[in-house]
Amino acid sequence: MSVSEPEVTVVEVPREPARPVWWRRLMRFSVRPLLMLAYLAIVGTLIVRLWDDVTTFIVFCVAMTVGLVVDRRLEGPGYIGAAIAGMLGGMFADAQFNFSLLDSLNMWSRGWTVLTVAVCGALVSFPYAFIWRRLDPQWGQVVARKAQRKLERGHADSALAQYTYAIETHPGEAIHFNNRGLAYLRLAKYAEALQDFSEALNLNPRLTAGYSNRANCFLQLGDAERALDDLAKALDCEPQNAALHYQRGVVLRRLGDTQRGYDSLTQALTLDPSLSTAYVERATILAASKKAAAAIEDLNRAVWITPDYGAAYHLRGQINAERRNFTGAIQDFTAAIRAEPNQATYYRSRAAAYEATSYFAESRADLDRAQQLAPQ
């Protein structure tokens, strides 16, 4: 008996109709380059005009630098702070030194002139911010922290782009390669993930997370032996790491080496008795060995630590059903459904328990719900 794998229902999002090929080529080869050239021409003209007035040039640079530093402290994108500071710097310079970037607008009202200077300051700030971000060694760390938060929230695509930027600015940081590999792993791009994990370990051979993540990658690729090799290296670095012993126990169980898997899971629980997942994995081994009472004891501990652990309730319900304790099984399956209401397997298990107790209407309703979640 084993813990059922979560079932995933993939819903395709309707896509907008693709634009004609000629339109995409026009935008790519004509409109965008022209817009970029126009922007560069405007910025170049403004910079030349600024260079003529040293005081205004200094005001702009100081304002944009302060904006970038503040934006970095707030872990913002960088460009926003520079743009706002550039606008304020331009308005301040125009008001204090009677300087206008576009003298021809003096014939208009003063407000329009100041507004124009503010817009020009924002335009000039973007290339300044671009250069600053490339030269400032701390920006890579800021971007990496933002990428970590996105990865934790499940936005692997966004995190991937930001980790790539962090690697470009800090190519010697092993942790950036490790984290980008984790983003690739979440996106099921195993070859790229494997390459990044290996690069991280080349830079830092004692990076435990690198071995652990590469072991997961090998496991996804079906190479459990190499996964075990990486976990052994990780445990050499951190022999008291409960999560590594747990991970090794899971791999050994999948390979059929239940005794060594049981020993690793027991070691994990010795180091960290609050590891509820280890109790469930160990209960799986015990249930397969016909040690139902010991398995239920482990599952009781798991749900006591994590009350909404659906897989633990489900496994306990399966054990109760095998022992023909269908009332207890139905209660456990119901608790599993309450914790994870979109798991079709839980409904099918409860349907079987209902059928065994002659509750046919309830069994039919559960089967219909399971079919809606995961058609067979």
Average pLDDT over residues 304-325: 95
Q: What is the pLDDT of residue 141?
A: 64
Q: 97 falls in which pLDDT band (50, 70, 90)?
A: very low
CATH fold of 314-376, please?
1.25.40
Q: Reduced to 3 DSSP states, what percent helix, strand and coil does the chain have, rounded to the nearest 5?
A: 80, 0, 20
Cα–Cα dist 22/30, whole Å: 11
Q: What is the pLDDT of residue 100?
A: 46
CATH fold of 240-306, please?
1.25.40
- 5 contact partners, CB below 8 Å, separation of at least 6: none
Q: What is the pLDDT of residue 323?
A: 93
Task: Please answer whether residues 164 and 144 qualify as being in contact, where contact means their C-beta atoms are separated by less than 8 angstroms.
Answer: no
More confident residue, 319 or 162: 319
Q: What is the pLDDT of residue 376?
A: 75
Q: Is 39 helix (H, G, I), strand (E, B) or coil?
A: helix
Average pLDDT over residues 269-274: 95
Q: 110 falls in which pLDDT band (50, 70, 90)?
A: very low
Cα–Cα dist 245/250, whole Å: 9
At the fourth CATH level, the homologous superfamily of domain 140-237 is: Tetratricopeptide repeat domain (1.25.40.10)
N-term to C-term CA, the chain:
21
Residue 337 has pLDDT above 60, yes or no: yes
Residue 170 has pLDDT above 70, yes or no: yes
In 10 A of CB 172, how many CB atoms?
9
Q: Is 358 helix (H, G, I), strand (E, B) or coil?
A: coil
More confident residue, 5 or 205: 205
More confident residue, 38 or 323: 323
- 75 contact partners, CB below 8 Å, separation of at least 6: 142, 145, 146
Nearest to 269 by CA among 289, 286, 292: 286
Q: What is the mean pLDDT of the chain?
A: 77
Q: What is the pLDDT of residue 168?
A: 78
Residue 1 identity (one-letter amino acid): M
Residue 16 has pLDDT above 50, yes or no: no
More confident residue, 361 or 31: 361
Q: What is the pLDDT of residue 38?
A: 56
Q: What is the pLDDT of residue 81?
A: 53
| DSSP 8-state code for residue 103 | G
Cα–Cα dist 119/121, whole Å: 5
Q: 249 falls in which pLDDT band (50, 70, 90)?
A: very high
| DSSP 8-state code for residue 12 | P
More confident residue, 356 or 17: 356
Return the percentage of the chain with pLDDT > 70, whole number.
60
Residue 281 has pLDDT above 80, yes or no: yes
Residue 298 has pLDDT above 90, yes or no: yes
Residue 111 identity (one-letter amino acid): G
Kindly state the helix (H) or strand (E) to which residue 309 belongs, with its residue range.
Answer: none
Domain boundaries, the chain: 27-135, 140-237, 240-306, 314-376
Helices (H), 8-138: 21-26, 32-51, 54-73, 79-97, 110-135
Q: What is the pLDDT of residue 155?
A: 72
Say whether 314-376 and 240-306 share the same fold.
Answer: yes
Q: 109 falls in which pLDDT band (50, 70, 90)?
A: very low
Q: What is the pLDDT of residue 167?
A: 80
CA dihedral of residues 89, 90, 96, 99 (deg, nearest 10) = 150
CA dihedral of residues 177, 179, 183, 189 (deg, nearest 10) = 40
Cα–Cα dist 249/278, whole Å: 8
Q: 77 falls in which pLDDT band (50, 70, 90)?
A: low
Cα–Cα dist 92/82, whole Å: 15
- 8 contact partners, CB below 8 Å, separation of at least 6: none
Average pLDDT over residues 127-136: 61
The secondary structure of 173-238, three-state, reads CHHHHHHHHHHHHHCCCHHHHHHHHHHHHHHCCCCHHHHHHHHHHHHHCCCHHHHHHHHHHHHHHC
Return the percentage of the chain with pLDDT > 90, whole number.
46
Q: What is the pLDDT of residue 254?
A: 87
Q: What is the pLDDT of residue 159?
A: 77
Least confident of 22-26, 106-110, 232-236, 336-340: 106-110
Nearest to 220 by CA among 230, 234, 233, 235: 230
Quote the radius of gyration of the chain (alpha carbons, Å).
30
Average pLDDT over residues 146-174: 75
Q: What is the pLDDT of residue 15?
A: 38
Q: What is the pLDDT of residue 50?
A: 53
Least confident of 26-40, 53-67, 324-338: 26-40
